[in-house]
């Protein structure tokens, strides 16, 4: 993804991250409460966060901008929301 130069890029990214996170949490909570959450999904919950923290930490250590630090979380949250929305 290319760096966005708009002054609204970071607020938009943060809003998308928040909305996708809430949607993902809602879907996963429903799966857990109904007993339909697979072992693969439980594994994804852990692995994706570990991977995102690693990538984010690397961007931080390289002195990259806030968007680069948030991008791993944004990418996974939006992908998860889309995947879980599709059922």
Q: Is the pLDDT of residue 33 over 60?
A: yes
Burial of 16 (0-12, 13-18, 19+ CB in 10 A): middle
Mean of the per-residue pLDDT values of the chain: 94
Domain boundaries, the chain: 38-87
Q: Where do we find the tokens 């992908």? A: 79
Confidence of residue 1 (pLDDT cuts 50, 70, 90): very low
| C-alpha span between 48 and 42 (Å, rounded) | 10
pLDDT at 15: 97
Q: What is the pLDDT of residues 41-74, one digit of tens each?
A: 999 999 999 999 999 999 999 999 999 999 999 9
Which residue, 63, 70, 60, is CA-closest to 1?
70
Q: What is the mean pLDDT of residues 26-36?
A: 98
């Amino acid at each position: 993804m290319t760096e966005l130069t708009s002054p609204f890029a970071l607020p938009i990214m943060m809003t998308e991250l928040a909305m996708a996170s809430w949607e993902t949490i809602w879907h996963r909570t429903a799966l857990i409460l109904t007993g339909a959450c697979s072992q693969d999904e439980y594994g994804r919950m852990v692995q994706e966060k570990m991977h995102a923290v690693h990538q984010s930490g690397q961007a931080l250590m390289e002195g990259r901008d806030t968007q680069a630090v948030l991008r791993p979380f944004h990418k996974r949250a939006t992908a998860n929301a889309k995947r879980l929305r599709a059922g």
